[in-house]
């Protein structure tokens, strides 16, 4: 549904995006994550046709964004990180205005506006946008991106600057669009990316450092850490690192055989095994490991 082939972008001598390729299949949620300056927004702007690649090709369905820009853009609903609204308009007026720009038939437009605002739980729809909270304005901007019923959604930091409750609501709403829409998003919230994305791409300095299904990336670049909680007075001769916590001892290892061997040794010495825990790296831990 969306294909990026060998795309690069230079601003003068600065290489913002360096030979990146990926594709997003129909109905998939694909996330791009990376530190500030990694090239995320440049990629987004090239995909929606705001800037041209220095090299490479971008396709939305069968339309090349460079040679068939108008046809490609009709398929995209775009939400930039900063999305100003016309503050003197109400939500209804604002969405009607954009619906007319897209040529949506009047009766269909009214039904669509009502449905989208209900789905987003956006109340006070007749209040002027300048009087709304940032979270409510963000919901209106999302509604605008959906007004022409595009099959592809491109969202740049959709929860930027929102409080945790509104942020979670917006991401859950995006997750519910999965299957119905093909979604590309950037985000700094790794917890949210891990929760809703089918696949992700991690960028650093304009280059891809990892890409693939979220669970695959966690297993490939992360790991499992085991912890054995026990009680034992004499721990001399124990090779694993041991900490004292809440009156107990805790030993750590990434190898379960080492933990099992220690458990046998604790039992042999007359100690008490309390529990064995394991921790799998989450996406944020993998991300920090790869971009530092």
Give the pLDDT confidence score for residue 246 in this predicted structure. 86
Domain-ending residue, one of 168, 186, 220? 220
Using one digit for the tens of pLDDT, what is the confidence trace for 112-122?
999 999 999 88
Q: Which residues contact 48 (CB under 8 A, 6 or more apart)?
A: 65, 73, 76, 78, 154
Give the pLDDT confidence score for residue 239 in this predicted structure. 87
Are 157 and 249 within one domain?
Answer: no
Please state the rounded mean pLDDT for residues 187-215: 93
Give the pLDDT confidence score for residue 291 in this predicted structure. 85
- The answer to whether residue 24 scores a pLDDT higher than 90 is yes
Domain-ending residue, one of 200, 220, 240? 220
Give the range of the structural domain holding residue 242, as residue numbers without chain letter.
222-291
Are 211 and 242 within one domain?
Answer: no
Are 196 and 53 within one domain?
Answer: yes
Domain-ending residue, one of 220, 244, 268? 220
Other Cβ atoms closer than 10 A to 71? 14
Average pLDDT over the chain, rounded to an integer: 93
- The answer to whether residue 76 scores a pLDDT higher than 90 is yes
Counts of helices then strands in the chain (DSSP H, E) = 10, 14
Give the pLDDT confidence score for residue 99 in this predicted structure. 94
Q: Which residues contact 217 (CB under 8 A, 6 or more apart)?
A: 200, 202, 210, 211, 283, 286
Using one digit for the tens of pLDDT, what is the confidence trace for 164-173?
998 999 999 9
Are 216 and 232 within one domain?
Answer: no
12 CB burial (10 A radius; 0-12, 13-18, 19+): exposed
Are 166 and 279 within one domain?
Answer: no
Residue from 190, 126, 160, 155 nearest 41 by CA? 155
> CATH number for the domain including 79?
3.40.50.300
- The answer to whether residue 210 scores a pLDDT higher than 90 is yes
Tell me the pTM.
0.84
* Domain count for the chain: 2
Are 139 and 244 within one domain?
Answer: no
Are 146 and 27 within one domain?
Answer: yes
Residue from 215, 269, 208 nearest 237 by CA? 269
The SS3 call for residue 138 is helix
- The answer to whether residue 147 scores a pLDDT higher than 90 is yes
Residue 224's pLDDT band (cuts 50, 70, 90):
confident
- The answer to whether residue 17 scores a pLDDT higher than 90 is yes
CA quadruple 266, 268, 271, 274: dihedral sign: positive
Give the pLDDT confidence score for residue 275 in this predicted structure. 95
Please state the rounded mean pLDDT for residues 88-114: 93
Give the pLDDT confidence score for residue 83 in this predicted structure. 84
Q: How far apart are CA 112 and CA 114, in angstroms?
A: 5
- The answer to whether residue 34 scores a pLDDT higher than 90 is yes
Are 64 and 202 within one domain?
Answer: yes
Using one digit for the tens of pLDDT, what is the confidence trace for 239-291?
898 999 988 999 999 899 999 999 999 999 999 999 999 888 889 989 998 88
Give the pLDDT confidence score for residue 49 in this predicted structure. 95
> CATH number for the domain including 275?
3.30.70
The structure tokens listed for 230 are: 């026990």
Are 114 and 139 within one domain?
Answer: yes
- The answer to whether residue 91 scores a pLDDT higher than 90 is yes
Are 15 and 114 within one domain?
Answer: yes
Are 85 and 46 within one domain?
Answer: yes
Residue 47's pLDDT band (cuts 50, 70, 90):
very high
Give the pLDDT confidence score for residue 26 in this predicted structure. 95
3 CB burial (10 A radius; 0-12, 13-18, 19+): middle
């Amino acid at each position: 549904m969306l294909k990026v082939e060998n795309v690069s972008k230079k601003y003068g001598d600065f290489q913002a995006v360096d030979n990146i390729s990926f594709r997003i299949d129909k109905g998939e949620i694909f996330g791009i994550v990376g530190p500030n300056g990694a090239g995320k927004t440049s990629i987004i702007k090239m995909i929606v046709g705001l800037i041209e690649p220095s090299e490479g090709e971008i396709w939305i369905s069968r339309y090349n964004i460079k040679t068939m820009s108008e046809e490609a853009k009709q398929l995209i609903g775009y939400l930039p990180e900063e999305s100003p609204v016309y503050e003197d308009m109400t939500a209804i007026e604002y969405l009607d205005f954009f619906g007319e720009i897209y040529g949506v038939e009047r009766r269909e437009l009214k039904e669509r506006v009502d449905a989208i605002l209900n789905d987003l739980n956006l109340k006070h729809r007749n209040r002027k946008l300048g009087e709304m909270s940032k979270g409510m304005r963000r919901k209106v901007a999302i509604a605008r991106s959906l007004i022409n019923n595009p099959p592809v959604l491109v969202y740049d930091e959709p929860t930027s600057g929102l409080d945790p409750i509104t942020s979670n609501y917006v991401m859950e709403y995006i997750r519910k669009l999965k299957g119905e829409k093909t979604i590309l998003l950037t985000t700094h919230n790794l917890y949210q990316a891990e929760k809703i994305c089918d696949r992700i791409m991690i960028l650093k300095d304009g280059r891809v450092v990892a890409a693939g299904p979220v669970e695959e990336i966690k297993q490939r670049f992360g790991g499992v850490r085991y912890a054995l909680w026990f009680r034992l007075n004499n721990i001399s001769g124990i090779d694993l690192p041991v900490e004292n916590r809440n009156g107990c001892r805790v030993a750590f290892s990434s190898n379960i055989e080492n933990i099992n061997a220690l458990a046998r040794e604790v039992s042999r010495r007359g100690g008490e095994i309390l529990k064995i825990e394991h921790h799998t790296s989450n996406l944020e831990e993998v991300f920090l490991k790869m971009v530092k």
